[in-house]
Amino acid sequence: MINRNKSLIMAFGLLLLLIIVGFDVMKEKEKSTVYLKDALQDKFYIGTALNTDQIMGRDTAAMQVVKHHFNAIVAENCMKSANIQPREGVFNFNFSDRFVAFGEAQNMFINGHTLIWHSQAPKWFFTDQNGNDVSRDVLIQRMKDHITTVVGRYKGRVHTWDVVNEAILDDGSFRRSKFYEIIGEEFISLAFQFAHEADPQARLYYNDYSMSNPGKRAGVVALVKKLMAAGIPIDGVGMQAHIGLDHPSLLDFEQSLQAFADLGVKVSITELDLTVLPSTWKNRGAEVSDQYEYQKQMNPYAEQLPDSISKSFHERYEAFFKLFLKHQQHIERVTLWGVNDGHSWRNNWPVRGRTDYPLLFDRQNHAKPIVLSIIQIANP
Ligand code: G3I
């Protein structure tokens, strides 16, 4: 009799345990089916950059993540002038057409990157048949043709454009790019005017890296004020946010965000990623032309990321998302610069061939714990 009772109690205990475990599993399942875009709905768009494999539908696993978690997209490379107009008057819209069509099919907020950027601009843009610099008038006409054709093609379909990218240096002065050298600072207002004429509904952004730097902040504030005073249509400032574990300071970042918002324009976090790798080169921005030689000791996490670094990564992302949520009334979107760690440009900058872990999804497209934390922070 005693043995029978014991067995009954044990069976009952086991059943209870199964129910509890089952309930926990269900809860976990429920948690994992909450997506970033749903958790951040009504706060700001949450976006990601797409590479050409994704745009062409070859990377189906990553595209599942995109469809589930994100409601905004930007093209990582295919809309840059060197890619979209490799020769004068010869446009390649294969990728950008697919990109925009995907965004529309998914009902996403679509961002165009970028119309006027000194980097990834084809050589022909600035030179004549003899290789000499073209005149101011010719360059203005080329800018106009480029912007009118690209923006015009996606009129009413691309919601925001990064009209001018990275025209201000860290000290707040103008970058001595070919656009600046040949046209002068007016190239910026002209670009915004041409974009506005091509699509009056599109929202137009100035976009740059190291925006938390006080020098650059002051330069960008001065630029935007000047454009606004002259009646140039500018709707937003894009803070790229290629951040590290120890830079920039949250306070500097917040001060810039506030300074841009105070101008009365929207702010977007346009290229968010967080490197965990060491840098002795003081590369804190995203100057694409900076490249250094590979050294093994500068690639310390080639196999896996130690727990202590994962923890710092997690806390740092949490701190930034708390900041974004605090300023949600000013922020139009927050976009990650890539879907998973394996896709990130950070693996190849400023040194080629390292293993970085800068994004929200790992190389197998699994959500890192930070995804759930963001979801929870957004819905306390
Ligand atoms: O497509 C070619 C391929 O055919 C060739 O075999 C290969 C050899 O290197 O290069 C491939 O092109 C590369 C391209 O990315 C696509 O992967 C270019 O070399 C490489 O320079 C290019 O880098 C991009 C970089 O901008 C320069 O355009 C990065 O992917 C992209 O993430 C990065 O994005 C910039 C933003 O536009 C502006 N803000 C900074 C940000 C990071 O640098």
pLDDT of residue 136: 98
In a domain, 347, yes or no: yes
In a domain, 16, yes or no: no
Protein residue closest via CA to atom 30 of ligand 1? 345
Spatial separation of the C-alpha atoms in residues 308 and 372, rounded to whole Å:
19
In a domain, 19, yes or no: no
- Asked if 262 contacts 224 with a C-beta cutoff of 8 angstroms, the reply is no
Protein residue closest via CA to atom 23 of ligand 1? 345
- Asked if 124 contacts 88 with a C-beta cutoff of 8 angstroms, the reply is yes
Neighbouring-strand partners of residue 103: none
Secondary structure of the chain as H, E, C letters: CHHHHHHHHHHHHHHHHHHHHHHHHHHHHHHHCCCHHHHCCCCCEEEEEECHHHHCCCCHHHHHHHHHHCCEEEECCCCCHHHHCCECCECCCHHHHHHHHHHHHCCCEEEEEEEEECCCCCHHHCECCCCCECCHHHHHHHHHHHHHHHHHHCCCCCCEEEEEECCECCCCCECCCHHHHHHCCHHHHHHHHHHHHHCCCCEEEEEECCCCCHHHHHHHHHHHHHHHHCCCCCCEEEECCEEECCCCCHHHHHHHHHHHHHCCCEEEEEEEEEECCCCCCCCCCCCCCCCECCCHHHCCCCCCCCHHHHHHHHHHHHHHHHHHHHCCCCEEEEEECCCEHHHCHHHHCCECCCCCCCCCECCCCCECHHHHHHHHHHCC
Is the C-beta atom of 70 inside 6 A of ligand 1?
no
Spatial separation of the C-alpha atoms in residues 74 and 112, rounded to whole Å:
6
User: Please, what is the Cα angle at 352 between 305 and 282, to 5 degrees?
Assistant: 80
User: Ligand 1, from 56, 77, 92, 287: best to mutate by most atoms within 8 Å of Cβ?
Assistant: 77
Is the C-beta atom of 82 inside 6 A of ligand 1?
no
Spatial separation of the C-alpha atoms in residues 228 and 234, rounded to whole Å:
7
Give the count of domains, the chain.
Answer: 1
pLDDT of residue 199: 98
Domain residue limits at 103:
35-378
Spatial separation of the C-alpha atoms in residues 355 and 334, rounded to whole Å:
24
State the catalytic residues: 166, 271
In a domain, 14, yes or no: no
Distance (angstroms) between ligand 1 centre and the Cα of 77 equals: 6
pLDDT of residue 379: 94
Radius of gyration of the chain (CA): 24
In a domain, 205, yes or no: yes
Neighbouring-strand partners of residue 113: 162
In a domain, 63, yes or no: yes
Q: Which atom of ligand 1 is nearest to the CA of 337?
A: 32
CATH number, position 55: 3.20.20.80
Upstream peptide bond of 114 is cis (omega within 30 degrees of 0): yes
In a domain, 20, yes or no: no
Spatial separation of the C-alpha atoms in residues 330 and 134, rounded to whole Å:
40
160-165/236-239 β-pairing: unpaired
User: Ligand 1, from 54, 74, 76, 268: best to mutate by most atoms within 8 Å of Cβ?
Assistant: 76
Average pLDDT by stretches of 10, the chain with 380 residues? 59 52 44 86 98 97 98 98 98 98 98 97 97 98 98 98 98 98 98 98 98 98 98 98 96 98 98 92 74 85 97 98 98 98 95 96 98 97
Spatial separation of the C-alpha atoms in residues 340 and 360, rounded to whole Å:
7
In a domain, 353, yes or no: yes
CA 282 to chain CA centroid, nearest Å: 22
Protein residue closest via CA to atom 11 of ligand 1? 77
Is the C-beta atom of 271 inside 6 A of ligand 1?
yes
Protein residue closest via CA to atom 40 of ligand 1? 286
* 80 HSE (CA, 13 A, CB side): 14
